[in-house]
Structure 1
Amino acid sequence: MSRAERGATDTDDPVAYFLDDITFQGKSQRTRDAYERVLREFEAYLTERGLGLDEANHRDCMAWIHQLRGSVGESTVATYASYLHRFYGYMTEVGTFEENPMALVLEEIDESINVDPERRDITVPAMRSFVADVTHPLDRAIIVTLLKTGVRAGELCNLDRRDLALSESPFEWSHRPQLDGKPDSIYVDDAPSAGQEYNGQPRTASNKRKRATTIPVDEELATVLVEWLAVRPDPRSGADPLFVSTTDEWGKRLTPDMVHHIVETHARDQGWYRDGGGAEENVTPHYFRHFFTTHLRDRTGDRGIVKYLRGDVAQDIIDTYTHDWGDRVREVYSDHIYRLL
């Protein structure tokens, strides 16, 4: 079918046209801004080469994506590629462009790229309302811990009580040496590996951090953890896991599947999860990591500290934040972490 037969749409500014349409579709201002930034950067890249957006072929797109590597992370490269894919796919559908050059590009680069990276956009007040409806001490502690620390489900399951230091608690236990001088914090090690013994107990999940990380615990998180410890069943394991089951497997260390089930149950009740829904729609433990990253980064403007807290940074950067942990990391975190209770 020719362009004329499909009813071509004339526009002097394809990017503006696309942005208007996704706004009409209900996309948030933050999403629109993200698309505009990426598309304008790509447009400028083409302009320097004497090309328009409608003239780019798959090699032009591939060359731009290739030059991104080294300046941004692979996950960002994937996001940029998927933004271009959606832009070209839409403009082809409405007849403005003849073809989508990104369709071939996505076959040639990392197959793990999500061609639809948009996630449900939940505000802090909406998340606060969600948390208010979670009353079970274990479920509440799990959800608030995930939201306040950005840890993965497996990393949460691997936490032992020694990995937690609280300055105000009616209970006593010995924290690990790495938390000496760092009150009100959680230590997330990079060592636990699925199938391997760690602290005297085989683990069912791996911690995927590049380096061990110490994460501050604010007053809200400390409160829900103390409430949980007050009713926590006696653990079956001598490793003293922080989170254990309160159902049929009473006292057993939680597994990622258990955590996913708990989060899914509450997300369904909120209308944030449905069978067949993808990562962009369903709220899962991994969504909470996305929420933590997005909102803390937007509030602090400090990508380095957010990367440190996520455990995503290399040794030289982590040395900087480890050395200055007591001042810079805790101060920035405490000043900007969102309130949920």
Structure 2
Amino acid sequence: MNREVVNFFLQHLQVERRLSPLTLRSYEIDLIQFLDFLALDSHQITQIKAQTIRLWLVELSNIGIQNRSINRKLATLRTFFKYLQRRGDVTDNPMQTIRMVKTSKSLPTYLRESEMEQVFAQQEIPKNTFEEVRDQLVLMLLYGTGMRLAELIQLSNQQLNLASKTLRVIGKRNKERIIPMPQLLVDLVKQYQSLNPFQSHSLLLTDKGEPCYPMFIQRLVKKYLGEVSTLEKLSPHVLRHSYATHLLNRGADLNAIKELLGHANLAATQVYTHNSMEKLKEIYKQAHPKA
């Protein structure tokens, strides 16, 4: 019964809200973990109380789940129980009295411009194979446009307009945005397409001609960034953070960066101003005689 209710909810997210496969997978993982906890005492998900959710939070904390991840799971439950309430499956929403747990604010992790120059200096060595150019294109798309991983793997050939040097990205909640492409990226796409031996709707393909998947891109990015950086977390999102931070450092308007990143509100973009402030502090310490 519990799993059936969850499946209906996931279908609702996919069909009516049109969430990305990665987001759907996150919802599914969170809810399956919650179902496993409920199964210990044979609870029905439509009959639980707030106290049961609080006990689950305690268990998550005890096994070492970070507060930020716990809050994501709470957000999943909040959406889920609102759905059940609209359907009439529950009358009292148990999430109404549950509050998010406190988290420490962390600045986005990014690579310095000099490190990104090293990444692409290595890539400037002439590439002659489909695989080599594909790897180079993945890095340039992530850093040259700031797109998300989910947006990258869903990218189709039809979304690129090489004549106008623009890229149409389908972001969260199916919201579209247009991103300009630097000439270097346009040239790289043309080279990649000329070497591509496969026929596919998807732009980025694996060595076997299948659409690239998240783990494939994550391994690729980690491999190349690991050659120039000692950061603990080297993910595709680091390139997105680097894109935004470097734009801001070079004087780009915050509202323009918001539109390029596809943020719903300016607050999400303003976090990058903290990175720029840290850079100013470093410059001050190095250059000012009284620092």
Q: TM-score, normalised by structure 2?
A: 0.50
Deviation at 1:213, TM superposition (A): 0.3
Deviation at 1:111, TM superposition (A): 3.9
Matches within 5 A, 1:122-141: 122-134=111-123, 136-141=132-137
- Choose the corresponding residue for 1:227, options 183, 188, 191: 191
Alignment check: 8 A CA contact 2:165 2:186 kept: yes
2:289 aligns to what? Answer: none
- Choose the corresponding residue for 2:169, options 188, 208, 218: 188
1:267 aligns to what? Answer: 225
Alpha-carbon separation, structure 2, partners of 1:112 and 1:299 = 34
Alpha-carbon separation, structure 1, partners of 2:99 and 2:255 = 27
Alpha-carbon separation, structure 2, partners of 1:162 and 1:126 = 32
- Indicate the SS of the match to 2:147: coil
Alignment check: 8 A CA contact 2:110 2:245 kept: no
Alignment check: 8 A CA contact 2:110 2:239 kept: no
Which whole-Å deviations, capped at 9, do the CAs of 1:317-340 have from their partners, x for residues lacking one?
Answer: xxxxxxxxxxxxxxxxxxxxxxxx
Alpha-carbon separation, structure 1, partners of 2:213 and 2:101 = 28
Deviation at 1:127, TM superposition (A): 0.6
1:295 aligns with 2:246: yes
Label 1:126 to 1:213 Cα distance change in 2 as closer, same or farther (>3 A): same
Alignment check: 8 A CA contact 1:233 1:244 kept: no
Task: Pick the structure with more helix per residue.
Answer: 2
Alignment check: 8 A CA contact 1:210 1:311 kept: no
Deviation at 1:259, TM superposition (A): 0.6
Matches within 5 A, 1:91-106: none
1:285 aligns to what? Answer: 236
- Indicate the SS of the match to 1:146: helix
Alignment check: 8 A CA contact 1:166 1:184 kept: yes
Alignment check: 8 A CA contact 1:209 1:312 kept: no
Superposition RMSD in Å: 2.4
- Choose the corresponding residue for 2:176, options 187, 212, 215: 212
Deviation at 1:116, TM superposition (A): 6.2
Alpha-carbon separation, structure 1, partners of 2:102 and 2:177 = 27
- Indicate the SS of the match to 1:140: helix
Deviation at 1:144, TM superposition (A): 0.6
Aligned residues: 162
Alpha-carbon separation, structure 2, partners of 1:141 and 1:227 = 10
Label 1:304 to 1:258 Cα distance change in 2 as closer, same or farther (>3 A): same
Deviation at 1:210, TM superposition (A): 6.9
- Indicate the SS of the match to 1:186: strand
Label 1:271 to 1:293 Cα distance change in 2 as closer, same or farther (>3 A): closer
1:313 aligns with 2:275: no
Deviation at 1:120, TM superposition (A): 5.0
Alpha-carbon separation, structure 1, partners of 2:148 and 2:204 = 14
Matches within 5 A, 1:1-341: 110-111=100-101, 113=103, 115=104, 117-118=106-107, 122-134=111-123, 136-167=132-163, 183-190=164-171, 208=172, 211-235=175-199, 237=200, 240-246=201-207, 250-272=208-230, 277=232, 282-313=233-264
Alpha-carbon separation, structure 1, partners of 2:113 and 2:99 = 35
1:101 aligns to what? Answer: none
Alpha-carbon separation, structure 1, partners of 2:195 and 2:161 = 18
Which whole-Å deviations, capped at 9, do the CAs of 1:234-279 have from their partners, x for residues lacking one?
Answer: 13x4xx1111112xxx111111111101001112233435xxx3xx
- Indicate the SS of the match to 1:245: coil
Q: TM-score, normalised by structure 1?
A: 0.43
Alpha-carbon separation, structure 2, partners of 1:112 and 1:189 = 32
- Indicate the SS of the match to 1:306: helix
Alignment check: 8 A CA contact 2:111 2:229 kept: no
Q: How high is the sequence identity, in percent, across the aligned residues?
A: 22
Structure 2: segments with no counterpart, 5+ residues: 1-67, 69-97, 266-291
